[in-house]
Amino acid sequence: MTLQSKMTVLVINDEPDALDLMTFILSRAGYNVLTAHNGNTGLEIAKHVTPELIISDVMMPNINGIELCRLLRADIALKTTPIILVSAVHKDSETVIEGLEAGADDYIEVPYESERLVAKVARLLERKMSEQLLRESREEVTNILESITDAFYALDTDWNFTYVNQAAEHLLNRSQKELLGRNVWNEYPAAVNATFYLMYHQAMNEKVAVEFIESYPAPLNKWYEFRVYPAKNGISVYFRDVTQRVQTEKQLQYDAFHDALTGLANRAFFNEYLQKTIERTKRNGSDLFAVLFLDFDRFKLINDSLGHAEGDNLLKQIARRLESTLRSGDLFARLGGDEFTILVNNLRDPSVVSLIADHIQTRLEIPFEISGNKIFISASIGIALSTTNYEIAEDMLRDADIAMYQAKAKGKAQYQVFDQTMREQALTQMRIETEIRDAVEREEFLVYYQPIMNLETDSLIGFEALVRWKHKTHGILLPFQFIGAAEDSGLILPLGKWVLHESCQQMQDWQKRNPTASNLSVSVNLSSKQFLQSDLAEQISEILKETGLNPHCLKLEITESHIMENIVMTTQTITKLRALGIELSIDDFGTGYSSLSYLHSLPVSYLKIDRSFITRMIDGEGKSEIVHTIIKLAQNLKMKVIAEGIETSEQLIKLKMLNCEYGQGYIFAKPMEAKAAETFIAKSLESSTYCATE
Ligand code: C2E
Ligand code: MG
Ligand code: MG
């Protein structure tokens, strides 16, 4: 009763009794009833009040019911207001038809039952309301469809457009007028028809909603997202331009799997692809494939000397050159730094992989050009073959890496195919590294000292500090058993620093306890890794401060080959150390390939002739010539010479004859613990001459 109670019904009738009766019935039914006694008044009231429904008698003076219908309908506000005509039974049947034509919605004959009247009124009002709702909601939907940025169109079962919104007009580049009634398949470029056809048919025939993203080829080059819904008589399609989103996604996906510098695949991509290859081969049988692991020899030198930008430039050139040597099925990736990998598929037999490695090496022999410089570069290549039956990509990559290290150890431009023993070696190496790490923490290292003598006066001038590892199970280990691993793992840095500190502390202690020892010096060996630290001079200066040792009492030894590895940086560091008052020696001289011009410019005080020359000095004619030449060279360069590894008096006599100033070797003493060295100092300082003991 809620809605009806608010509704206004206008009743027009010239017969007062009839008017009263109807008013009574309708009021009781809950309507608000207005009355008029003739057509004119009725029209007036209707225009002012706009009632929800009008009931008019047909037969009235002046304006009859039919005329009134026409006049009411002429008013825009009353165009849809339901009108019921009241007529006498059978009498006015023609008039009734005329009335319906003039705009009346229904009629009721007198006499009528009150329920019939109320039911008729209620039905008409309901219809009017639902028509209005429908009209409103249709308007609303259209408004929504026109205002949304998504494009929308509806198709009938013959694939013709029945509705197209503005956004769709825009994206399809055609007006609504052109599109309506047109077949949708005329609108899609042939290249993409297939997808649309499939998806639209699915929505139409199977009555399911489908979603898909499809590209429009050039010249549009756009991506659209489509949502297709089945409708009562056809389908409705929403679509929008998602080009930007798709492109961003594609870029992100690309970035995640590609190396930014070279554009090659990256580690993630390589691993994933390798894993797939392993799995596919497992399923399909015996396809032979291999992983080649490339690491460029001395690449660091290029970065250090030409700068990182040129280093990057070279990496790009390498990528392009090697790329052109590969077959289309092979995957080439850069893992990072100067490490590259290649997955070679479909090998006829394992020997082919050697040919590929050779081919790569040959291609690399042609120099690269970096800002006008010709650069020669070679790669060490490790190879892992699928015959090992790998399950996991990382394992195969690791083995190729191990093989690469073996290749590197053999020298430049080598390749090695992985075998099981390599893994064992690598494991041992890893174990040693872990042990060294623990040993550094537990301070299981100690320093032995070997006297260095003045050969002219037979007096002690100092000691060389030589590290030892007091291993809990293997006893005292010599440097060759662990220095390599310490260098590879970087542990040489903390270890080397410890040796420096310990040796300086020890020498300072001796000097404190025995003032005559104040001229003695300690020589400490440095690895190239230590030497390449830019703050080495600061570190050493700190150690000297902490221990209180006079800088003149510390000497540093660096091997010839290490100096040549990075001549620019080494020279800078040596100059800084010299400024602190520390002298330097070139160790193992004669075993490397020093360029004499560099040697001349290096601020180095001592040359230590390698033991191998001293050992060979005596055997046969002319063998001492090399030693003689080195001594003369040193004298010309204003350097002092120390002969290493003097074992026999014959060697000692010869060296003295050649005016070699200093010497070191078992003939004087083997390297010894600090306590023994202290006794050695006491003895040698109290007797100025010292007799050889062994
Ligand atoms: P090096 O600096 O050339 O040291 C001389 C090596 O020759 C020492 O071996 C020494 O024991 C040995 N030697 C001395 N006189 C004789 C002799 O008359 N006959 C024979 N056969 N050998 C003699 P060691 O102590 O095994 O050290 C080997 C190498 O390990 C050293 O060669 C040095 O390059 C390196 N090293 C030793 N301690 C350290 C250290 O603390 N740091 C670094 N980075 N390297 C070290
Ligand atoms: Mg040395
Ligand atoms: Mg040496």
Are 536 and 409 in a shared domain? no
Mean pLDDT is lowest, of 55-69, 136-150, 393-407, for 136-150
Is residue 595 situated within a structural domain? yes
Is residue 427 situated within a structural domain? no
pLDDT score of 689: 41
* 478 CA to centre of ligand 1 in angstroms: 9
* 126 CA to centre of ligand 2 in angstroms: 110
527 lines ligand 1 (CB under 6 A): yes
Mean pLDDT over the full length of the chain: 89
* 442 CA to centre of ligand 1 in angstroms: 23
478 lines ligand 1 (CB under 6 A): yes
Are 45 and 114 in a shared domain? yes
- DSSP 3-state of 588: strand
pLDDT score of 597: 66
451 lines ligand 1 (CB under 6 A): no
Are 292 and 205 in a shared domain? no
Distance separating alpha carbons of residues 14 and 39, to the nearest angstrom: 8
Choose the final residue of a domain: 418, 444, 475: 418
Are 194 and 76 in a shared domain? no
CATH code of the domain covering residue 573:
3.20.20.450
As separate numbers, helices (DSSP H) first and strands (DSSP E) second, the chain gives 27, 26
Distance separating alpha carbons of residues 167 and 84, to the nearest angstrom: 45
Amino acid at 151: A
- Residue 547: φ, ψ to 5°: -90, -20
- DSSP 3-state of 448: strand
Domain extent for 193:
138-246
554 lines ligand 1 (CB under 6 A): no
Q: Which residues contact 540 (CB under 8 A, 6 or more apart)?
A: 500, 554, 556, 577, 580, 582
Has residue 219 got a pLDDT over 80? Answer: no
Are 270 and 406 in a shared domain? yes
Has residue 415 got a pLDDT over 90? Answer: yes
CATH code of the domain covering residue 56:
3.40.50.2300
What ligand 1 atom has the least distance to the C-alpha of 647?
18
- DSSP 3-state of 494: helix
663 lines ligand 1 (CB under 6 A): no
Is residue 404 situated within a structural domain? yes
Choose the final residue of a domain: 110, 131, 152: 131
Alpha helices in 548-623 (DSSP H): 560-565, 567-580, 596-601, 611-616
Per residue in 77-133, pLDDT (tens digit) is 999 899 999 987 666 667 778 888 999 999 998 889 999 999 999 999 998 888 888
Choose the final residue of a domain: 391, 418, 445: 418
Are 530 and 660 in a shared domain? yes
Are 325 and 209 in a shared domain? no
Are 345 and 278 in a shared domain? yes
Is residue 691 situated within a structural domain? no
Are 453 and 357 in a shared domain? no
Q: Which ligand is nearest to the CA of 452?
A: 1
What is the arrangement of strands in the sheet containing 415-417, beginning at the earlier edge strand? 331-336, 339-344, 290-296, 379-385, 415-417
* 610 CA to centre of ligand 2 in angstroms: 9
Are 31 and 68 in a shared domain? yes
214 lines ligand 1 (CB under 6 A): no
* 492 CA to centre of ligand 2 in angstroms: 15
Q: Which residue's CA is the nearest one to ligand 1's atom 10?
A: 671
Are 525 and 626 in a shared domain? yes
Per residue in 418-470, pLDDT (tens digit) is 998 988 888 887 888 888 888 888 889 999 999 999 999 999 999 999 999 99
* 233 CA to centre of ligand 2 in angstroms: 94
The total of structural domains in the chain comes to 4
Q: Which residue's CA is the nearest one to ligand 1's atom 17?
A: 645
Region for 549 from its dihedrals, namely left if φ exceeds 0, alpha if ψ lies in -120 to 50, beta otherwise = beta
Are 505 and 521 in a shared domain? yes
Is residue 175 situated within a structural domain? yes
Contact yes or no for 556/577 (Cβ under 8 A): yes
pTM to 2 decimals? 0.54
Q: Which residue's CA is the nearest one to ligand 1's atom 35?
A: 479
What is the largest distance, in Å, between two alpha-carbon atoms of the chain? 161
252 lines ligand 1 (CB under 6 A): no
How would DSSP label each residue in 319-387? HHHHHTTS-TT-EEEEEETTEEEEEE---SSTTHHHHHHHHHHHHHHSPEEETTEEE---EEEEEEEGG
585 lines ligand 1 (CB under 6 A): no
Is residue 694 situated within a structural domain? no
Per residue in 544-570, pLDDT (tens digit) is 999 999 999 999 999 887 777 777 778
Average pLDDT over residues 316-344: 93
Per residue in 347-397, pLDDT (tens digit) is 988 899 999 999 999 999 999 998 888 888 999 999 999 988 899 999 999
